[in-house]
């Protein structure tokens, strides 16, 4: 049934929703949130590497592009784990000697280009890679022998920011999503991400699980149309032919009131270029827009100690229950002046408890879950020069995002709480725009 449907997709160039049935199976990953005081928390996934398979737990990260795993000989990783609070995110590393299918192909060539990560080193290897619904032989993976960070990453971004390609030490290579396409497991290089927008999910310490599906969309998890917009260049909203990250053009950010508040983006005619990043919890904006954001919250008070590091504004926790504090983000298509999709982020994700950011944080204090990009990263730093805006988990929870590296575009709709059976629809090679939902 699956192979027949895939054949029809390739012939016809589209998928009819009526042709899809819930019995279809697509590779998928459960995204489990783990709160961690040193970096707010993240969505983790379980994958398997090697033969026999070794289970590894990694952060799901649309902001990077390698499968980044720690070798068991990486003592810097073990030390970083021991320093965490709590330390239950210290997961087993990868023992290459135990895998019959391991091969080192780029010794010393893996240098992870992660924001804020200290100097790290490792090798590119190939090994068998498993996720539920797919097994990929000889997948290229980055394995570190020195990386002082307490977690690995499942990067699902563009090849331009693969560690070796970014640093000029190793050529670009097919991601595990690309490999599933070439193996015939899926028809499109798409990853559909749902992070659960439930109102019961308002405490960042206890977020519910989300999931990622490859090669398909689940129509039970969003409402309205999936609106497709192209990936754009960092620091401007020109459509990118070779995207660096999942930068999307945002034309408006305003309070989701009736009528909406003034747009905080300083230059709304061109908008700003924002990375949608599951590896980040808060959101960051250019300073010119961030100043306008703070002005929308008159009770906000700057407090550089409320979460243990500078850049955050304190708010009374009662502000989390005020619907007028919700924000509406409008993603736009720079190719026209009509296409856009709005995502409304509720107050309880715009404002987070301070204790989620720092061990022993005051349970009665909350913070605006946003920072100025220049103030936080430094305007003259490498990071500050490269990018200007990141929309992390707190924003992405309100949207259903279909990220298509093959067609260099994202399709977005309003996320819905799961209340009915999954209804999976295969995405053809031409992307979501070829779907008839």
Q: Is the confidence at residue 387, as pLDDT, over 90?
A: no
Mean pLDDT (whole number) for 75-85: 82
CB 412 within 8 A of CB 331: yes
- For 35-72, the pLDDT digits (tens) are 765 557 899 999 999 999 999 999 999 999 999 999 99
Mean pLDDT of the residues in the chain: 87
Q: How far apart are CA 253 and CA 238, in angstroms?
A: 19
Strands (E), 286-398: 301-302, 313-316, 327-332, 340-345, 351-353, 365-368, 370-372, 390-391
Parse the chain into domains and list their residue ranges.
Answer: 23-187, 212-436
Has residue 229 got a pLDDT over 90? Answer: yes
- C-alpha–C-alpha distance, residues 149 and 163, integer Å: 16
Whether 148 shows a pLDDT value over 80: the answer reads yes
Give me the pLDDT at residue 203, please: 72
Q: Is the predicted pLDDT of residue 331 greater than 80, yes or no?
A: yes
Q: What is the mean pLDDT of residues 414-436?
A: 91
Spatial separation of the C-alpha atoms in residues 229 and 359, rounded to whole Å: 39
Alpha helices in 43-136 (DSSP H): 75-82
Residue 266 burial (C-beta neighbours within 10 Å; 0-12, 13-18, 19+): middle
DSSP assignment letter at 359: T
> CB burial class (10 A; 0-12, 13-18, 19+) of residue 3?
exposed
Residue 163 pLDDT grade (very low, low, confident, very high; cuts 50, 70, 90): very high
Residue 78's pLDDT is 86
**CATH class of the region 212-436:** mainly beta
Q: What does the pLDDT read at residue 251? A: 95
The alpha carbons of the chain give a radius of gyration, in whole angstroms, of 21
pLDDT at 8 over 50: no
Q: Which tokens sit at 332?
A: 């736009």
- The pLDDT of 4-15, averaged and rounded, is 30
Dist. CA 402–CA 183, nearest whole Å: 21
The per-residue pLDDT for 12 is 29
Whole-number Å distance between alpha carbons of 163 and 379:
23
23-187 and 212-436 agree in CATH topology: yes
Q: Tell which CATH architecture fits domain 23-187.
A: Beta Barrel (2.40)
Per-residue DSSP letter, 184: T
Rounded mean pLDDT, 362-366: 82
Judged against a pLDDT cut of 80, whether residue 339 lies above it is answered with yes
Diameter over CA atoms, the chain: 62
Query: Percent of the chain, pLDDT > 70?
Result: 87
Count of residues in the chain: 437
Structure confidence by residue, pLDDT tens digits, 114-139: 655 556 889 999 999 999 999 999 99
Predicted local confidence at residue 35, as pLDDT: 78
Q: Which tokens is 38 given?
A: 């040193």
Q: Which of 25-39, 173-187, 199-213, 382-396 has the highest mean pLDDT?
A: 173-187
Give CA angle at 260 (257, 264), nearest 5°: 120
197 sits in the region (left: phi over 0; alpha: psi -120 to 50; else beta) called alpha
Give residue 377's pLDDT.
74
Cross-strand pairs, 180: none
- Report how far residue 209's alpha carbon sits from residue 281's, in angstroms, rounded to the nearest whole number: 15
* Alpha-carbon span 111 to 45, nearest angstrom: 22
């Amino acid at each position: 049934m699956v192979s027949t449907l895939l054949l029809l997709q390739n012939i016809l160039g589209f998928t009819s929703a009526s042709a899809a049935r819930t019995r279809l199976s697509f590779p998928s990953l459960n995204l489990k949130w783990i709160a961690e005081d040193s970096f707010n928390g993240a969505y983790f996934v379980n994958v398997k590497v090697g033969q026999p398979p070794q289970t590894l737990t990694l952060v799901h990260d649309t902001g990077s592009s390698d499968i980044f795993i720690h070798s068991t000989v990486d003592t810097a990783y073990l030390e970083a784990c021991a320093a965490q609070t709590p330390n239950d995110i210290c997961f087993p590393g990868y023992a290459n000697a135990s895998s019959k299918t391991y091969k080192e192909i780029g010794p010393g060539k893996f240098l992870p280009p992660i924001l804020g990560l200290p100097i790290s080193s490792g090798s590119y290897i190939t090994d068998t890679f498993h996720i539920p619904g797919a097994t990929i032989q000889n997948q290229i993976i980055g394995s570190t022998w020195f990386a002082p960070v307490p977690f690995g990453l499942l990067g699902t971004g563009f090849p331009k920011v693969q560690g070796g390609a970014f640093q000029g030490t190793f050529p670009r290579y097919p991601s595990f999503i690309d490999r599933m396409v070439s193996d015939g497991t899926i028809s499109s290089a798409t990853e559909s991400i749902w992070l659960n927008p439930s109102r019961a999910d308002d405490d960042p310490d206890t977020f519910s699980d989300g999931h990622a599906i490859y090669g398909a969309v689940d129509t039970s998890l969003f409402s309205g149309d999936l609106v497709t917009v192209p990936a754009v260049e960092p620091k401007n909203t020109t459509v990118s032919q070779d995207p660096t990250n999942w930068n999307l053009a945002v034309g408006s950010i305003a309070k989701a009131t009736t009528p909406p508040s003034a747009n905080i983006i300083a230059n709304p005619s061109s908008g700003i270029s924002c990375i949608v990043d599951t590896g980040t919890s808060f959101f960051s904006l250019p300073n010119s827009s961030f100043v306008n954001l703070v002005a929308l919250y008159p009770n906000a008070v700057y407090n550089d100690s409320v979460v243990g590091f500078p850049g955050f504004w304190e708010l009374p926790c009662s502000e989390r229950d005020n619907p007028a504090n919700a924000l509406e983000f409008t993603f736009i298509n720079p190719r026209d002046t009509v296409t856009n999709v709005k995502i409304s982020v509720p107050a309880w994700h715009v404002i987070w408890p301070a204790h989620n950011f720092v061990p022993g944080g005051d349970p009665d204090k909350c913070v605006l879950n946003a920072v100025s990009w220049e103030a936080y990263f430094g305007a003259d730093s490498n990071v500050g020069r490269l990018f200007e805006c990141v929309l992390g988990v707190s924003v992405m929870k309100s949207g259903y995002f279909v990220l298509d590296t093959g067609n260099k575009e994202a399709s977005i709709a309003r996320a819905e709480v799961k209340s009915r059976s999954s209804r999976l629809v295969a995405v053809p090679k031409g992307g979501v725009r070829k779907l008839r939902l």
